[in-house]
Amino acid sequence: APDGQLRYVPLAALYDGEKWLVEKFNINNITAASLMDLTPKTEINPLVLAGALTEGIYNFQVGKKKFDFEGLPFAGVEVEKLATMFPKTNKLLDNAFTKKAMESQMDNYNIVHFATHSAFVNGHPEESFILFGDGSRASLREVKDWNLKNVELVVLSACQTGVGKQLGNGVEILGFGYQIQEAGASATLATLWRVDDQGTHEFMNDFYAALKNDASRSEAVQKAQISMINSEFSHPYYWAPFILIGNGF
């Protein structure tokens, strides 16, 4: 349970001169103890709701910060691969991937996967948001009103932290995890910084493959990170930002 600016530290990438921390331990971030339901996940082949933003250009301002986003070509590939692994996947791409469509269906699924841009806004955590395929956004304020009581895992696969020149206290990073747990979900997978599109795609492939083979959520993150350490994506930039917030079992 890191506090303050320690929330920005990718614990998985701590190095003792021989091994990365993630090669020794699986890592699980927690928020409020009162939200910690440590019940193990229930299904090997869950129902998945997956949305992806693969095309388009979006420019807008949130508070004093300007955001410029483009579609993520590998996000579509990521979701298609996910549907291959888990046949009970409902795919919503681009214009079909709307805030309304996701909000109306989320509680019917075990896993909700967002292959899109989301941003943690330093200094104004309540303005942090998830971007949908039609350009609509859900703010952190709105996330707390979602109905996620049947959801075990929410995945934000293309997060970006608006850190700027000065670090805050990191509350914007764990804020999504906290609000998603308050809305009923067991855990959130997010990132400390934006990873390139293909790197995220590779991580998600390994993560879901491990999950399908009955790994716990935190074990699946660990296995995916170790797999990347032993691949062309071995630099910590690619694998270290992925963090699990909430129930890691």
Q: Where are the domains of the chain?
A: 47-246
pLDDT digits (tens, 9 = 90+) for 77-100: 999 999 999 999 999 999 999 999
Q: What is the pTM of this model?
A: 0.90
148/142 Cα distance (integer angstroms)? 13
What are the φ/ψ torsions at residue 84 (nearest 5 degrees)? -70, -40
Calculate the alpha carbon distances from 33 to 74, 129, 246 in Å.
Answer: 36, 24, 9
**Segment 192-236, tens digit of pLDDT:** 887 788 889 999 999 999 999 999 999 999 999 999 999 999 999
pLDDT over 90 at 34, yes or no? no
User: Which pLDDT belongs to residue 175?
Assistant: 67
Class of the domain covering 47-246? alpha beta
Order of strands across the sheet that contains 159-162: 137-139, 129-131, 118-121, 159-162
